[in-house]
Structures are given as structure tokens and as C-alpha cells.
A = this chain, B = another copy of it.
Amino acid sequence: MPVDPPEYEHFEPFQFGGVLPTPREFSESASVILPIPFDRTTSYMPGTRNGPRELLLASAQVELWDEEVGVDVHPRGLLTLPEMDLSGLSLAEAMETIGSTTGELMDQGKFVLTVGGEHSITSPIVGAAAARHAGLSVLQVDAHADLRNAYLGEPHSHACAMRRTLDYAPLVQVGIRNISEEEAKILPTLRTQIFYDWNMRDQPDWIDRAVAALSDDVYITIDLDGLEPGLMPAVGTPEPGGLSWRELTTLLRRTFERRNVVACDVVELCPIPGMVSPNFIAARLVYKLLTYKFGLTRQRP
């Protein structure tokens, strides 16, 4: 009966929310926040490695009571684990370690919310979740399809994050506005349904349709570049278009109301020095996910 978190080398963790009024030990926590500052991208702007730290620093300002749901879920327990240090490993080894660590947490009954770091961390977590939830599907909010089979020869690149994820579960991809010809051509053969940013709003019920396309057990991955770049400029490869805060929260709320969300991640925060706004918004998003998870009553059909 394991009640301790998985062990690994680490610095002392920052805690989400700073000093919480009702802190919980690991064994009492319904959820854990796991920072994985993994960042091996060769993109134009590095910096996602700092994402978890800045998100956690900003989180001390997040109001614990949610005015929309009318609840403060933090007494359910949202312990922040130490950052994972994967610097010595190959990409393949790092993927395996992420998968086994998050799987162990799931076995201990935790709702795992991972904070990246780059998007490549998603596939092993989905692998762990799919092994525990048969028929799992994935809701992805993102600007990029990330469905390349390999990028610069590397199958575990962040540009291939969702292609790897497809090995474990089918996808519903929302907000997509960057996709390569290679990906577009292979699409019909893949287990994915794409809601393109340029035309998804032409159908007013697009949010309901996206949720309906998901199976009962759902993993949610949010690449922050899925949001409008005005709201969220602190990402490595911003794209014009994207979801508004209202669209994103509506999509998430309905998903939590109608499906069983088993784990989620928020990735690709790439902080801009001197500009705290994106860090606050990412922290608020993390807490919104936990609020929906523990504060909403699931609507049975």
C-alpha cells in the first residue's frame, strides 16, 4: 500500500498556491501537480524549462475560491511534487521514466496534472493512462497538429508529440492552425478528428461536437499556444487565431461535466522576462482544471 510519491533526485519544490490554508500530505491529496521542465526542442525560442517554476511562483496569487463553480477545491489536496530532472537521459529513456512515474502516481489513486516543459512529455503519460483506462481518448487543445512521424530524424521530438500519443489513444484536436503537408496527407489514415481554428466556429455547436467525439474516459492535454497569442504570447511558436479564454473554459467545463477526465497536462509555457501576465494565466488554467475536476458534478446522460 504505497503512500509515498515516487523517488527521484530533486531540488525542494515550489508549491502551487504558495502557502495553502489547508495543506495536505501526499497520502491525503486527491491530486498531484507534477512539474516536468523537459526542454530539448531546437525551436526558435527555448525557455519552456522555466515554465513550471514561473507558473508555480505566479500561482501564489491565484484565488482559491472559484466564482464560477462556487467552490474552493484545494482542501481536496493538490500537492506539488518536485521537478523531474531528466537531463541525463536519452529521449527514449526520458519518455519511459515519465511513463512509469506518472503510472505509479495513477496507481496510488492520484489525479495527475503535469506541467511542462515541452509537448513531447504527453505521449508517455497518455500511455500510462491508457494502460489503466481501456478505451481512453485524448482531447488536445493546440495550435499545432504535432502529427509528424519524425522531425529532423527524431521520432520523440515535440513536433511529433501527438503522433506518438496516437499509439495509445485516439485524438480530438481543437484549435489547430499549423499543420504540414505531410501531416495533412496522412490524416485520413489516423485515429484523429481535427477541429481547425479557421472554420470550427462555422458550426455553432462545435464545442458539443468536440466533446461528443470523445470516449468516456478522457485525457486532456493543453498546449498553451492553443490560446490566442494576445492572451498567451509566452510560447515557443505562437500562431495567430486560437481559442479565447471563454471558449477554452467552456470546452473544458463541458468535457468535465460529460466525461471522466483521468489526467491532464498544461505544456509549453515559455516565460517572457518582465511580463508576468502569461504565467498568471497558465496558473489560473491549472487551477481551473482542478476546480472542474473536483468541483463539478458529472452529468450522467
Residues of chain A having any CB pair with chain B under 8 Å: 9-12, 18-19, 37, 39-47, 49-50, 57-58, 60-61, 63-65, 67-68, 70, 72, 83, 85, 87-93, 152-154, 156-157, 176-181, 184, 196, 198-199, 228-231, 233, 235, 237-241, 245-246, 249, 272-278, 280-281, 284-285
Query: A152 contacts B90, CB within 8 Å?
Result: no
| Chain A interface, DSSP helix/strand/loop, else mixed | loop
Across the interface, name the chain B residue whose C-beta is closest to A228: B230
- A246 CB contacts on chain B under 8 angstroms: 241
Query: B9 contacts A153, CB within 8 Å?
Result: yes
| A156→B85 CA distance, assembly (Å) | 13
- A68 CB contacts on chain B under 8 angstroms: 196, 198-199
Query: A275 contacts B233, CB within 8 Å?
Result: yes
- A154 CB contacts on chain B under 8 angstroms: 9, 85, 87-88
30 A-B interface contacts by CB (under 8 A):
A11-B60, A12-B19, A40-B88, A42-B83, A43-B61, A44-B60, A45-B276, A46-B50, A63-B178, A63-B179, A63-B180, A64-B180, A67-B184, A68-B198, A70-B184, A72-B181, A88-B92, A88-B154, A90-B93, A198-B249, A228-B230, A230-B231, A233-B275, A237-B280, A238-B277, A239-B280, A240-B281, A272-B275, A273-B273, A275-B275
Query: B196 contacts A67, CB within 8 Å?
Result: yes
Query: A280 contacts B178, CB within 8 Å?
Result: no
- A45 CB contacts on chain B under 8 angstroms: 276
Query: A61 contacts B46, CB within 8 Å?
Result: no
- A280 CB contacts on chain B under 8 angstroms: 229, 237-239
Minimal beta-carbon separation of A63 from chain B (angstroms): 5
Q: Which of A44, A65, A230, A285 has the most CB of B within 10 A?
A: A230
- A196 CB contacts on chain B under 8 angstroms: 67-68
Which of B65, B85, B229, B272 is close to A184, meaning CB atoms less than 8 Å apart? B65
Query: B229 contacts A277, CB within 8 Å?
Result: yes
Minimal beta-carbon separation of A68 from chain B (angstroms): 4
Query: A231 contacts B240, CB within 8 Å?
Result: yes
- A177 CB contacts on chain B under 8 angstroms: 67
| A112→B245 CA distance, assembly (Å) | 35
Across the interface, name the chain B residue whose C-beta is closest to A93: B90
| A239→B184 CA distance, assembly (Å) | 36
| A239→B278 CA distance, assembly (Å) | 9
Q: Which of A87, A154, A241 has the most CB of B within 10 A?
A: A87
| A122→B2 CA distance, assembly (Å) | 43
- A241 CB contacts on chain B under 8 angstroms: 245-246
- A152 CB contacts on chain B under 8 angstroms: 9-10, 85
- A43 CB contacts on chain B under 8 angstroms: 61
Minimal beta-carbon separation of A194 from chain B (angstroms): 9
Minimal beta-carbon separation of A256 from chain B (angstroms): 15
